[in-house]
Amino acid sequence: FMTHQEIANLTATSRQTVTTVLNELRTKNILTFNRKRLLIRDMEQLRKEIG
């Protein structure tokens, strides 16, 4: 699993933005994550969110 900072570096954004977006997606039950894994629970909804 990549750190939030590594994701931020790849997406040219800040660590805080990555954390905020991941937490929003978790709140919407689109994905779940912990220190070792990220699980996409609703791929179609994720596509809509990022589309």
Nearest 5°: the CA angle 2, 6, 42 is 50
Domain range list for the chain? 4-50
Report phi then psi at 38, rounded to 5: -125, 125
Query: What pLDDT digit, counting tens, does each position of 7-45 carry?
Result: 999 999 999 999 999 999 999 999 999 888 999 999 999
DSSP 6-40: HHHHHHTS-HHHHHHHHHHHHHTTSEEE-SS-EEE
Q: What is the pTM of this model?
A: 0.84
